Structure 1
Amino acid sequence: MTDTRHRAPTRETPERILVVGSVNLDLSLSVGRHPSPGETVPGGSSSRSPGGKGANQAVAAARLGGDVALAARVGADETAEQALSLLRDCGVDLTWTSADPRRETGLAVVTVDRSGENSIVVVPGANGSWSVRDAAGLAEALGRSGVLVCQGEIPAPVLDALGEAARAEGVRFLLNLAPVVDVAPGTLRAADPLVVNEYEARLALRALGCGDSGVDDAAVVRALRGAGVPSVVMTRGAAGALVSGPGTEAAVPSPRVVAKDTTGAGDAFVGALAVGLARGEGLEEASRLAVRVGAAAVRSKGAQASYPWAGEALPEV
């Protein structure tokens, strides 16, 4: 593949997106409401589908026309092929995805209530077997890419190593700190952008040695920038996103939609954001696409299967 990192990316000549992250099989349960501690509630239905934040973001980007590779781990078990099925269907390059014979494929148990809100328990399985040495083995993949996308479902030392490698290679490092893991402050300061929700943003600010008591969302974003993070995107669900980077500070509204299932909506946002950045769009412009893709995803059940394809009509703000 031709190296595009030394020329300005455009829609016609986008950069490659390398996603390094998790692959899970999602076990989704529909419930009338989420149980309280110690309580049993009846479920309405159950289903199994591909998931994992890394895989979700790769599928979201590929369905929008991105040139995407995924580096990930699955187990050598019967669920691995199902977990990878939609990645294959949308043409994600799985050259750097492998099976660990000692581990099971990651599992996420997702409960979705009647309002579409979810709660999730993740068993990492093979996702937890990544090492710093494995990260070093991605030098070739990184060298072919212009945007590196990572999340918090692989070990923190691996994220630290990847952040350093991206900076050394001149590759843009999109870090979605979800879930929040104990990465080094330098990794947060390498993120361009750091993508976090309201809760994650405050934990990231504490990790950088800053307090956040009583501070509103916009001030948290500004504080993260002040602490050395090059650019920040704070996702706020139906309220859209706050975007801050060099010369850019904006509130990006989200379309109004009826949510059936919010599972994977944040990953749809990140995948779309990566596509916009790989096409050379500014952070605000890419975020405006991302909120529309995230809103489209909540209108259907499940994660990857709900993501829109390129050319599909998206909800308007």
Structure 2
Amino acid sequence: MGIVVIGSLNMDMVVRANRAPNAGETLMGQAFALSPGGKGANQAVAAARLGAEVSMIGSVGKDTFGSEMLEIIKQEGIHIEHISVSETEATGVASIVIEEDGENRIIVVPGANIDLFVEDIQALESIISQAEMIVMQLEMELAMSEHAIAIAHRHGIPVILNPAPARVLKDEMLGQVSFLTPNETEAGILTGMTVDSLETAEQAARILLQKGIKNVIITLGAKGALIVNAEGAKSVPGFPVKAIDTVAAGDSFNGALAQQLVLGKTLEEAVSFANAVGALAVGKEGAIPSLPQLSEVEQFLKHVSAVK
């Protein structure tokens, strides 16, 4: 069954501007584009483009965006038979403002993404139980997400949880997660700390480990990532690149992490590879359009190795 991604599918409405407007302010932007995305879809495509077998569980609306999303996901070789079509909710959308330095501000309207409930995921227990890895985020109904993680845990299937958008989560849910991948902001919200350095990142990770999580991987942007588990803490350096668009950087990291772990790579090897995938993703515009193919990542790593 390979990797099963349980997650969101959104159509991104992307505006590029020198900066985001202040409250009550109107600015002129430089460009607008519709781009397929959603954290779940991004992670699924990221893993599939790296060669993984991927199935997706999610929901879209009975509308043009929904049809487009299903076709795009299918063209990536991802199994879509467990993506439902909502009769009542529109396909999720994200409004994204990308500033000149590549930083972004995002508002998500989840729509059909939250039209997937506990009973729906319960009916897919046989699919979850056959997976090699489950990948999840938090753009869906929280009770459903909690139940999906519980099903995976019951069957001994490892779960990668990217806790975004950030929110406080129950210890019981966190304790069933094999790999938690927050960024600094998300780690701070989960622990009540200010996470702004390697030292505070490690402190936050150790708090999270106490909740029963096996591995905490805090992503640090261009600085790479910090792995903390029972064996200790390990900083895995990133790859300095010029950021054009940071949308989907974290999603590309999570998809790559899943693909590498399913291949049997060590956690440090998987995180280093995922850092490279994230670096390539920020060098292109868009969410799904920015996700690299395996050949691009291999060429990038070969180039980096040659210039060391």
Task: Report the TM-score when normalising by structure 2.
Answer: 0.93
Regions of 4+ moved over 4 Å: 211-215
Mapped to 1, the partners of 2:209 and 2:168 lie a distance apart of 19
Checking the alignment, whether the CA contact within 8 Å between 1:86 and 1:304 is kept in structure 2 is: no
Checking the alignment, whether the CA contact within 8 Å between 2:202 and 2:228 is kept in structure 1 is: no
For 1:78, the equivalent position in structure 2 comes to 64
SS at match of 1:196: coil
How far is the alpha carbon of 1:87 from its aligned partner?
1.5
1:40 aligns with 2:14: no
How far is the alpha carbon of 1:213 from its aligned partner?
8.7
1:270 aligns with 2:248: no
Mapped to 2, the partners of 1:281 and 1:84 lie a distance apart of 31
For 1:314, the equivalent position in structure 2 comes to 300
Counterpart pick for 1:257 among 238, 241, 250: 241
How far is the alpha carbon of 1:314 from its aligned partner?
2.6
Checking the alignment, whether the CA contact within 8 Å between 1:28 and 1:46 is kept in structure 2 is: yes
Higher mean displacement: 278-287 or 66-75: 278-287
SS at match of 1:180: coil
Higher mean displacement: 77-86 or 236-245: 77-86
For 2:99, the equivalent position in structure 1 comes to 113
The CA deviation string for residues 193-239 of structure 1, in whole angstroms up to 9 with x for no partner, is 01101111122224xxxx66997112111222233221101011111
**2:265 aligned partner, one-letter code:** E
For 2:271, the equivalent position in structure 1 comes to 287
How far is the alpha carbon of 1:86 from its aligned partner?
3.0
Mapped to 2, the partners of 1:183 and 1:163 lie a distance apart of 13
1:183 aligns with 2:144: no
Checking the alignment, whether the CA contact within 8 Å between 1:49 and 1:83 is kept in structure 2 is: no
For 2:74, the equivalent position in structure 1 comes to 88
Counterpart pick for 2:200 among 181, 191, 216: 216
Mapped to 1, the partners of 2:141 and 2:166 lie a distance apart of 11
Mapped to 1, the partners of 2:220 and 2:153 lie a distance apart of 28
For 1:153, the equivalent position in structure 2 comes to 139
Q: CA RMSD in A?
A: 1.6
**1:152 aligned partner, one-letter code:** L
Task: Report the TM-score when normalising by structure 1.
Answer: 0.90
**1:254 aligned partner, one-letter code:** G
1:225 aligns with 2:204: no
- Aligned ranges for residues 50-69 of structure 1 at < 5 Å? 50-69=36-55
SS at match of 2:30: strand
For 1:235, the equivalent position in structure 2 comes to 219
Mapped to 1, the partners of 2:231 and 2:70 lie a distance apart of 39
Checking the alignment, whether the CA contact within 8 Å between 2:167 and 2:189 is kept in structure 1 is: no
How far is the alpha carbon of 1:248 from its aligned partner?
4.9
CA change 1:280–1:248 in 2 (3 A) is farther
**Identity level (%):** 36
CA change 1:288–1:220 in 2 (3 A) is same
**2:236 aligned partner, one-letter code:** V
Mind listing any 5+ residue stretches in structure 1 that lack a counterpart?
A: 2-15
Bigger proportion of residues as helix:
2
CA change 1:248–1:64 in 2 (3 A) is farther
Checking the alignment, whether the CA contact within 8 Å between 1:21 and 1:153 is kept in structure 2 is: yes
The CA deviation string for residues 132-171 of structure 1, in whole angstroms up to 9 with x for no partner, is 1111011121122010111010111111101110111110
Mapped to 1, the partners of 2:214 and 2:62 lie a distance apart of 39
SS at match of 1:96: strand
Higher mean displacement: 242-251 or 65-74: 242-251
SS at match of 1:250: strand
CA change 1:133–1:182 in 2 (3 A) is farther
For 1:21, the equivalent position in structure 2 comes to 7
Checking the alignment, whether the CA contact within 8 Å between 1:109 and 1:121 is kept in structure 2 is: yes
Mapped to 1, the partners of 2:69 and 2:92 lie a distance apart of 9
Higher mean displacement: 225-234 or 167-176: 225-234
Mapped to 1, the partners of 2:194 and 2:207 lie a distance apart of 9
For 2:189, the equivalent position in structure 1 comes to 203
Higher mean displacement: 252-261 or 222-231: 222-231
Counterpart pick for 2:285 among 301, 305, 312: 301
Checking the alignment, whether the CA contact within 8 Å between 1:59 and 1:86 is kept in structure 2 is: no
For 2:35, the equivalent position in structure 1 comes to 49
Checking the alignment, whether the CA contact within 8 Å between 2:169 and 2:190 is kept in structure 1 is: no
Checking the alignment, whether the CA contact within 8 Å between 2:60 and 2:86 is kept in structure 1 is: yes
**1:185 aligned partner, one-letter code:** D
